[in-house]
Structure 1
Amino acid sequence: MRVPPLPADQWDDEKVQAVIRTACAPDRREPGESGNAIATLVQHPDLAGAYLPFSAYLLTESTLPPALRELAILRLAHRADCAYEWTHHVPMGRAVGLTDADIDAARGADAATDLHRLIIAAVDQLFDRTTISEQTWQALTGFLERRALMDLVFTVGGYLALAMGLNSFGVQPESAQWREDAHQARPAAEPGPA
């Protein structure tokens, strides 16, 4: 682990507390409850304070429908080999209606619908070439309005940046029980990176 989670006895720093208050649900504001990603990001409170509101927007205010958002995040997590994102977003995806077949499609199985195939193609194109092809973009316009398409691009980019950080810092997923408790305690779209 290159950047460990901030030890609990250092959470009293004013900047850390400001970040936690604005970025975390009330039930996730104590050390041990916030998760390893936030506990690691607050090692750099200024960076966390800038990134976490953007992350919260992607999860709670984006115009991209939640199931499509989660499918895109899972595809990106798979492509980026980010175990932390994957383990958090599988239950989040299920909570917003993704099926086991949809989750398998994020790993490369055939998607069940044209829209899901297009979302996966868009993620792959952004990951591989930093742009969505004209053909994929035009096909997506048949399903999504312009703002949702913009949110799709920034969801993939935001979660790629987070995956790079989590993978590079060595952030480890919490136990399965911790994740189950955390995801049951808050709605699928509560703030905080996952």
Structure 2
Amino acid sequence: MAIQSRLGTLTEAQMDDAQRAVLKEILNGPRGNLDGPFLAWIHSPQLASHAQRLGAFCRYSTRLELRLTELAILATAAWWQSQAEWQIHEPIARNAGLCDSVIEALRQQAKPDFAREDESLVYRVGKQLYEHRRVDEVLYAEAVAAFGEPAMVELIGVFGYYALVAMTLNVFAVRRETDQPLPFSEPCTF
């Protein structure tokens, strides 16, 4: 799928050795493409290299079920109104078992009606983290009891990593070319 951004086009012929090396690392990894933030990050190969390894862990290797990881990613995309992050992860979340009504509520930035307590817990942690920049003792204890400390650390890592992704996608106006409408209204320009 074609991707556009406000960055200048960077062809492989224009890349330096470090950029080519990280491009090869990304293309040979679990993603297999230069989608999403990597289109921007490839301009800084050291950032791209570190970020893509962290991202591969956050997306594919945490102790959380993929459904819960994708819920955290969609909650982040909705918070940041990150068009491309939503476009990339909405079908993944659906395929991972997140129900349509939860996905649509997140897109509308409304509180979903969760049928599963683990999903409600992930949502509440993310909401409190984004709104208050902290998680209170009661919610923290509930999340640790449900997921364990290592998974709680990883969940916060997922929220943080995908906030970085959303900021990157928003600043560089990364978009997937699609005939589908954008998931969020574009904010007024500055």
Q: Structure 2 length normalisation: TM-score?
A: 0.80
Aligned to 1:184: none
Q: How many residues are paired up? A: 173
Q: State how far apart, in whole Å, the 2-side matches of 1:18 and 1:133 are.
A: 43
Are the structure 2 counterparts of residues 59 and 158 from structure 1 closer, same or farther at C-alpha, using a change threshold of 3 Å?
same
Are the structure 2 counterparts of residues 36 and 116 from structure 1 closer, same or farther at C-alpha, using a change threshold of 3 Å?
closer
Are the structure 2 counterparts of residues 169 and 157 from structure 1 closer, same or farther at C-alpha, using a change threshold of 3 Å?
same
Matched to 1:87, the amino acid is Q
2:107 corresponds to 1:103: no
CA contact (8 A) 1:64 1:152 kept: yes
**Stretches of structure 2 lacking an aligned partner (at least 5 in a row):** 181-190
Q: Structure 1 length normalisation: TM-score?
A: 0.79
Aligned to 2:86: 86
Q: CA deviation at 1:85?
A: 0.6
Aligned to 2:135: 132
2:17 corresponds to 1:14: yes
Q: State how far apart, in whole Å, the 2-side matches of 1:176 and 1:66 are.
A: 27
Matched to 1:122, the amino acid is V
CA contact (8 A) 1:101 1:112 kept: no
Q: State how far apart, in whole Å, the 1-side matches of 2:137 and 2:177 are.
A: 40
Tell me the percent identity.
28
Q: CA deviation at 1:27?
A: 9.1
Matched to 2:50, the amino acid is A
2:163 corresponds to 1:163: no
CA contact (8 A) 1:5 1:40 kept: no
1:143 match: secondary structure: helix
Point out the more displaced range, 19-28 or 138-147.
19-28
Aligned to 2:183: none
Point out the more displaced range, 94-103 or 48-57.
94-103
Q: CA deviation at 1:26?
A: 6.2
Aligned to 2:45: 45
**Stretches of structure 1 lacking an aligned partner (at least 5 in a row):** 178-194
2:62 corresponds to 1:62: yes
CA contact (8 A) 2:58 2:158 kept: yes
Are the structure 2 counterparts of residues 148 and 176 from structure 1 closer, same or farther at C-alpha, using a change threshold of 3 Å?
farther
Q: State how far apart, in whole Å, the 2-side matches of 1:132 and 1:138 are.
A: 10
Q: CA deviation at 1:134?
A: 1.4
Aligned to 1:185: none
2:43 match: secondary structure: coil
Provide the alpha-carbon RMSD of the alignment.
2.3
Are the structure 2 counterparts of residues 166 and 4 from structure 1 closer, same or farther at C-alpha, using a change threshold of 3 Å?
farther
Matched to 2:93, the amino acid is G
